[in-house]
A and B are shown apart, each in its own frame.
Chain A
Amino acid sequence: MSGRLDPDPISRRDFLGLAGLWTAGAAILGSLVAMARLPVPRVLPEASTRFRAGSPLAFPAGTTTLLPERQVRIVSTDRGIAAMSLVCTHLGCIVGEAPNGFACPCHGSKFDAQGRVIGGPAPRPLRWLHVSQAADGALVVDTAREVSPDVFFQPMNVG
């Protein structure tokens, strides 16, 4: 082919071989990427993060109440009601009451009564959770919504 301007530097056999190799490589890579997508869950069927804590009358001012099955502590003062999470901010164990606040049984994080870190590896204070009121007057705590520790919820008078 004398009229060819750009002579092929690669033989047809080599070209087909390389093309086959790259196709196989691309196919394997594509399959791996597609397979890696499978274990990443798209639907997370989980229980609601909000739960009913009961009537505000169950938490008279000046008391604190432990809700162990919810891993939450309800603090009631004359300024209102607040809820503190008992899930350690270090690695997720449940803190227990200690002489000067709370202590974590797994790695020894220490918190004061307001949940501030006073020792150990915890990177953040214990979380204070959003409190609201349902239509029937029951308190509702949302474990997914964090609020500032000085936020207190003033429940509407019921009954």
Chain B
Amino acid sequence: MSDSGMGAFWANLKALPRTFLGSFVRHGAPTSHRARSQSVFSNVFLHIHATRVHPHSLRLTTTWGLGVSLVAQFLILTVTGILLMVYYNPGLDQAYASMKDIHYVVPAGRLIRNIHRWAAHMMVFCVILHMTRVFYTSAYKAPREFNWVLGMGLFVLTLALSFSGYLLPWDQLAYWAIVIGANIAASPNEVIHAIGLPEAFNIGDIVRRILLGANHVGQDALLRFYLLHVIVLPIAMVFIIAAHIWRIRKDGGLARPGGTPSPAGKGAGSMTPAAQPPSAAPSKTYGLMCLVKGRSPCTGQDPDETVPAWPALLRAELFVFMLNMLICLVLGVFFDAPLREIANPGVPENPAKAPWYFLGLQEMVSYSALIGGVVVPTLAVIGLALIPYLDREAEPAGLWFSGARGKVVTFWSMVVGAILAVLSVAIPVNYGWLRNWFPDIPQLVIIAINPGSLVTLAYMAWSLIVIARTKSTRLGAVALFSCFLVGFVILTYVGTYLRGPNWDFYWRQSDWPIH
């Protein structure tokens, strides 16, 4: 008895590498399309893909690889972020010193921090491009409406992660960004005061106190933003990313125009029985893998128009991932992430500028904290999120600009949007604004009527005009999105290059006064 027990034990021990691997990789070596498809289908990480994809989804001009780039950047940020947490200390008198340590003392600390900063910049840039791509290819249309809403959530989270991230070094940029950010959150106080209500109604103070953990920026604020940056926001991000990608699959893959001819004769050909490895052919069986609502990739056409996700899609994803790694690495080697002087509550930098993606917002805030910092951004995000519900026109998704008419509307909307945005800067710079014209004007009027709110209203009006003229809600949405996109670009440019000390207007940085 004991002998055969020991024999079985030895045999099991000898077979351990093979049985362990077999239990871990359930479908054998992924050498046939069938084994690969089964792996994609049954692996918890891979099954976020469909097992087969349409060649249109793989074409560079469909997505420009932006969604996968964002995942790659998020992964890079997570890994480098955890490494930075080894040395970073969120104490008021330690934070700046630990940044210096990471830069000058920690092995590879400088490179890791640079990569973290550059990946964050790229992520903000790509999330804007990705949203633009999805919008212009009408990929938000049914059944993908809610995935667009999830995407807006990811857009806001990306900005929130960037903001909370650059607060942590506790340099001049960090300190004044957190002061300004908290006061923007408290800006409803402006209206309370302008109406003349007593201080007890200052709801902004409560919001600020929850954000900062105190009435003034200090240790509690740093700790709270650290917590947001390393735990709360990333966890929220992971869950929404998972739902976002899962829904792509459940909605039948990427949006594409109906009846797109399959140019990938190669991929389709490889599924013919002759091309199958002989060992896989006899055991080939079909099973119902899942039910997908809507027009599935396979109705009314040859299922073999699609190609296997492994290797076609995985190869494309690996390429995009490696490309992002390469860009981050090159930028990180050659360009250092900025670190200003240590936070000084007595003197802000002059000019005190946010990172580039918030400079459009800073320009708006320089008209009114409440309108420019709270009302217009909130309206823009809500408006964007509602686009799929306000434009329900069924039309071929996946077509850039919805065809020739859409291109015309996009062009003219960008022209109109650009003119209005330039005017919104040029008029106050050259002629002043309400307070200069009517010094005794009520404060509520000054808060409500500013270049930012007027341009927002004008954009909305232009979009309604387009809807009325073209009788198309899709073209109205194209008009509004194009206006906001070009307005964002122009205000960002103005904030970055044309604003100098005291946020005054200068054509060149060499014109800045010397002090």
Asked if B30 is an interface residue, CB under 8 A from chain A, the answer is no
Query: Assuming the A-B contacts A105-B352, A106-B351, are A92 and B183 also in contact, with contact meaning beta carbons closer than 8 angstroms in the complex?
Result: yes
A-B contact pairs, 13 of them (CB 8 A): A40-B210, A91-B179, A94-B347, A98-B502, A103-B502, A104-B503, A106-B348, A106-B351, A107-B362, A108-B502, A108-B503, A117-B435, A124-B193
For B219, the closest partner residue in chain A by CB is A45
Extra A-B contacts (12), CB below 8 Å, given A91-B187, A105-B351 = A40-B210, A41-B214, A46-B214, A46-B215, A90-B183, A91-B183, A96-B350, A105-B349, A105-B352, A108-B502, A118-B435, A121-B368
Asked if B391 is an interface residue, CB under 8 A from chain A, the answer is no
Q: Which residues of the other chain, A, contact B215 by a CB distance below 8 angstroms?
A: 44, 46
Q: Which residues of the other chain, B, contact A90 by a CB distance below 8 angstroms?
A: 183, 369
**Cα–Cα distance between A46 and B183 once the two chains are bound (Å):** 18
Q: How far is the CB of B451 from chain A (nearest CB, A)?
A: 11
Asked if B129 is an interface residue, CB under 8 A from chain A, the answer is no
Asked if B366 is an interface residue, CB under 8 A from chain A, the answer is yes
**Cα–Cα distance between A94 and B343 once the two chains are bound (Å):** 13
Q: Which residues of the other chain, A, contact B345 by a CB distance below 8 angstroms?
A: 71
Q: Is the CB–CB distance between B179 and A41 below 8 Å? A: no
**Cα–Cα distance between A91 and B370 once the two chains are bound (Å):** 10
Q: Is the CB–CB distance between A41 and B220 below 8 Å? A: yes
Q: Is the CB–CB distance between B209 and A41 below 8 Å? A: yes
Asked if B447 is an interface residue, CB under 8 A from chain A, the answer is yes
User: Could you tell me the dominant secondary structure of chain B's interface residues?
Assistant: helix
Q: Which residues of the other chain, A, contact B502 by a CB distance below 8 angstroms?
A: 96, 98, 103-105, 108, 110
Asked if B216 is an interface residue, CB under 8 A from chain A, the answer is yes
**Size class of the contact patch on chain A:** 20 to 34
Asked if A69 is an interface residue, CB under 8 A from chain B, the answer is yes
A residues 86-104 in Cβ contact with B at 8 Å: 90-94, 96, 98, 103-104
Query: Assuming the A-B contacts A98-B502, A103-B502, A124-B193, are A93 and B180 also in contact, with contact meaning beta carbons closer than 8 angstroms in the complex?
Result: yes
Q: Is the CB–CB distance between B214 and A121 below 8 Å? A: no
A interface list, Cβ under 8 A from B: 39-41, 44, 46, 68-69, 71, 90-94, 96, 98, 103-108, 110, 117-121, 123-124
Asked if B432 is an interface residue, CB under 8 A from chain A, the answer is yes
**Cα–Cα distance between A98 and B450 once the two chains are bound (Å):** 24
Query: Assuming the A-B contacts A118-B435, A119-B432, A123-B443, are A39 and B501 also in contact, with contact meaning beta carbons closer than 8 angstroms in the complex?
Result: no
Asked if B260 is an interface residue, CB under 8 A from chain A, the answer is no
Q: Is the CB–CB distance between A46 and B216 below 8 Å? A: yes
Q: Is the CB–CB distance between A39 and B213 below 8 Å? A: yes
**Cα–Cα distance between A46 and B179 once the two chains are bound (Å):** 16
Q: Is the CB–CB distance between B179 and A121 below 8 Å? A: no
Residue from A46, A103, A123 whose CB has the most chain B CB atoms within 10 Å: A123
B interface residues, tally (CB under 8 Å): 46
Q: How far is the CB of A102 from chain B (nearest CB, A)?
A: 10
Q: Is the CB–CB distance between B179 and A93 below 8 Å? A: yes
**Cα–Cα distance between A105 and B184 once the two chains are bound (Å):** 16
Q: Which residues of the other chain, A, contact B436 by a CB distance below 8 angstroms?
A: 118-119
Q: How far is the CB of B450 from chain A (nearest CB, A)?
A: 8
Q: How far is the CB of B206 from chain A (nearest CB, A)?
A: 8
Q: How far is the CB of B225 from chain A (nearest CB, A)?
A: 12
Q: How far is the CB of A66 from chain B (nearest CB, A)?
A: 10
For B372, the closest partner residue in chain A by CB is A121
Q: How far is the CB of A114 from chain B (nearest CB, A)?
A: 14
Asked if B176 is an interface residue, CB under 8 A from chain A, the answer is yes
Q: Which residues of the other chain, B, contact A120 by a CB distance below 8 angstroms?
A: 366, 503
Q: Is the CB–CB distance between B503 and A123 below 8 Å? A: no
**Cα–Cα distance between A154 and B436 once the two chains are bound (Å):** 35
Q: How far is the CB of A41 from chain B (nearest CB, A)?
A: 5
For B362, the closest partner residue in chain A by CB is A107
For A117, the closest partner residue in chain B by CB is B435
Asked if B107 is an interface residue, CB under 8 A from chain A, the answer is no
Those 8 A-B pairs whose CB atoms lie nearest each other, nearest first:
A108-B503, A105-B350, A107-B366, A103-B502, A91-B183, A123-B190, A91-B180, A92-B183
Q: Is the CB–CB distance between A121 and B351 below 8 Å? A: no
Q: How far is the CB of A14 from chain B (nearest CB, A)?
A: 30
Q: Is the CB–CB distance between B435 and A119 below 8 Å? A: yes
Q: Is the CB–CB distance between A105 and B447 below 8 Å? A: no
Q: Which residues of the other chain, B, contact A39 by a CB distance below 8 angstroms?
A: 210, 213, 224
Q: How far is the CB of B177 from chain A (nearest CB, A)?
A: 10
Q: Is the CB–CB distance between B194 and A41 below 8 Å? A: no
Q: Is the CB–CB distance between A92 and B210 below 8 Å? A: no
Q: Is the CB–CB distance between B176 and A106 below 8 Å? A: yes
For A45, the closest partner residue in chain B by CB is B214
Query: Assuming the A-B contacts A69-B346, A107-B366, A123-B190, are A93 and B176 also in contact, with contact meaning beta carbons closer than 8 angstroms in the complex?
Result: yes
For B354, the closest partner residue in chain A by CB is A106
Q: Which residues of the other chain, A, contact B325 by a CB distance below 8 angstroms?
A: none
Q: Which residues of the other chain, B, contact A124 by a CB distance below 8 angstroms?
A: 193, 443
Q: Which residues of the other chain, A, contact B368 by a CB distance below 8 angstroms?
A: 121
Q: Is the CB–CB distance between A106 and B214 below 8 Å? A: no
B residues 192-220 in Cβ contact with A at 8 Å: 193-194, 206, 209-210, 213-216, 220
Q: How far is the CB of B453 from chain A (nearest CB, A)?
A: 12
**Cα–Cα distance between A106 and B194 once the two chains are bound (Å):** 22
Asked if B365 is an interface residue, CB under 8 A from chain A, the answer is yes
Asked if B504 is an interface residue, CB under 8 A from chain A, the answer is yes
Q: Which residues of the other chain, A, contact B369 by a CB distance below 8 angstroms?
A: 90-91, 107, 121, 123
Q: Which residues of the other chain, B, contact A123 by a CB distance below 8 angstroms?
A: 190, 193-194, 369, 443, 446-447
For B177, the closest partner residue in chain A by CB is A106
Q: Which residues of the other chain, B, contact A108 by a CB distance below 8 angstroms?
A: 366, 502-504
Asked if B357 is an interface residue, CB under 8 A from chain A, the answer is no
Q: Which residues of the other chain, B, contact A104 by a CB distance below 8 angstroms?
A: 502-503
Q: Which residues of the other chain, B, contact A121 by a CB distance below 8 angstroms?
A: 365-369, 372, 450
1/0 per residue, CB under 8 A from A, across B317-358: the answer is: 000000000000000000000000000011111111000000
Q: Which residues of the other chain, B, contact A106 by a CB distance below 8 angstroms?
A: 176, 180, 348, 351-352, 362, 503
**Cα–Cα distance between A133 and B167 once the two chains are bound (Å):** 39
